[in-house]
Amino acid sequence: MSLPASRKKGQKYQNTIPTDEAGFGKMIPILREYVNNKAENTPKKTLGPFKTDPSVYNTPPASGLRITWIGHSSILIEIDGKRILTDPVWSDRVSFSQSFGPKRFFKPPIALEDLPPLDAVIQSHDHYDHLDKATIKFFADKNIPFFCSVGVAQYLTRWGMAANFITEMDWGDSAMIGNEIVLTSTPSRHFSGRGITGRNETLWSSFVIKGPEHNIYFGADSGYSPEFKAIGEAFGPFDLTMLEIGAYGKFWPDIHMGPDNASNAHLDLKGKLMMPIHYGTFNLAPHAWYEPIEWLVPMAKQKHINLFAPKPGEPTEVKGAYNSDWWKEYLS
């Protein structure tokens, strides 16, 4: 089964199937949903602090695959001898201003300065909760290869990165990380833009990360689509799928999945273990901060899905099903 390359109408990238992106026409009902919402969107109890011991990275994972979930979609992946960081966001707020906008529930468990040497950084798309200006500026002079969706390089170079360290990838493109890891850009169902103008003028993607021993999938942001089954057929099975379960709402069902569709996507992908991401870090939707993971756990059991849900900042080897239940101690 072949995967589609990206396509445009004029300057605008298109999803593979018709998609309601919850644009300006839905702003009033979306705002009304927020105003009338009574859920615990922000934790009443302060989360954390979570702390990562950097010395852990002095010893490679015995299994060859270790994950440190920084929070949201920021993940430090150690796979078959390489270290890859996804969608790194260390700022307090995911907004055009650090004075207002969605604020972190907990500080990043490891400082940028304490990260181990990286072999690559993946940037899936240009939204503020995935592409963070201050974090990119930290990496700008570190000579780390960045792999990003088409169009995103303009931000990286604007913030100080040298163009020769950036590889833009269209859907279906592959690139090497070192000599053994093959990174392939695959479709997702989402949208892009960092302001009122320029919507969908850069691409959004998911990624297959295949090493000599392990094969994993980073879903980034996506609504449910037939492409999950196509990706599973073309690149699966996967040892681990990293899929967004949070930031859903009834007025934007096409661009985020929620736990039910995310678990269905995992099955389509032929995943062995499912790691929930994109939850428990920022208030981005009118649901309780803990709702996505609380719903996912029984749902996964019902669908015979093995979860991999480590605590934030906890370097955890991927050897089988694991659920830390980290959020439960913060429930009201």
Domain coordinates in residue numbering, the chain: 51-319
C-beta of residue 281 within 8 angstroms of C-beta of residue 313: no
Q: Which residues pair with 120 in a beta bridge?
A: 84
- pTM for this predicted structure: 0.96
3-state secondary structure of 298: helix
C-beta of residue 255 within 8 angstroms of C-beta of residue 104: no
Q: From CA 297, how far away is CA 276, in angstroms rounded?
A: 10
List, in order, residues 6 or more apart from 26 with CB less than 8 Å away. 20, 251, 252
Structure confidence at residue 87 (pLDDT): 98
Q: Which secondary-structure segment (H or E) carries 82?
A: strand 82-86
List, in order, residues 6 or more apart from 284 with CB less than 8 Å away. 94, 102, 129, 246, 247
Report residue 203 as tokens: 């691409």
| Other CB atoms within 10 Å distance of the CB of residue 36 | 8
Comparing C-alpha atoms, which of 43, 39, 44, 83 is closest to residue 60? 83
Q: Which secondary-structure segment (H or E) carries 232?
A: helix 227-235
Please confirm whether the linkage preceding 18 is cis (ω < 30° from 0): no
DSSP state letter for 289: T
Say which residue the tokens 């009304």 belong to: 32
Q: Which secondary-structure segment (H or E) carries 302?
A: helix 291-302
Task: For Cα atoms 165, 210, 130, give the angle at the middle one, nearest 5 degrees.
Answer: 55
Comparing C-alpha atoms, which of 225, 260, 266, 234 is closest to residue 245? 260
115-157 confidence digits (pLDDT tens): 999 999 999 999 999 999 999 999 999 999 999 999 999 999 9
258-268 and 291-302 helices cross at what angle (nearest 10)? 40
Q: Which secondary-structure segment (H or E) carries 207?
A: strand 206-210
Comparing C-alpha atoms, which of 211, 268, 214 is closest to residue 243? 268
Structure confidence at residue 100 (pLDDT): 87
Q: Which residues pair with 4 in a beta bridge?
A: none
Comparing C-alpha atoms, which of 265, 329, 280, 315 is closest to residue 116? 315
Strands 174-177 and 166-169: unpaired
Q: From CA 225, how far away is CA 171, in angstroms rounded?
A: 15
Strands 206-210 and 215-218: antiparallel
List, in order, residues 6 or more apart from 80 with CB less than 8 Å away. 64, 65, 180, 181, 211, 212, 213, 214
Q: Give the domain 51-319 fold.
A: Metallo-beta-lactamase; Chain A (3.60.15)
Strands 181-186 and 74-79: unpaired
Report residue 111 as tokens: 């400082």
**pLDDT, mean of each 10-residue run, the chain (332 residues):** 85 95 68 78 96 98 98 98 98 94 96 98 98 98 98 98 98 96 98 91 98 98 97 98 95 92 98 98 95 98 98 98 98 85
Structure confidence at residue 30 (pLDDT): 67
C-beta of residue 268 within 8 angstroms of C-beta of residue 228: yes
C-beta of residue 121 within 8 angstroms of C-beta of residue 146: yes
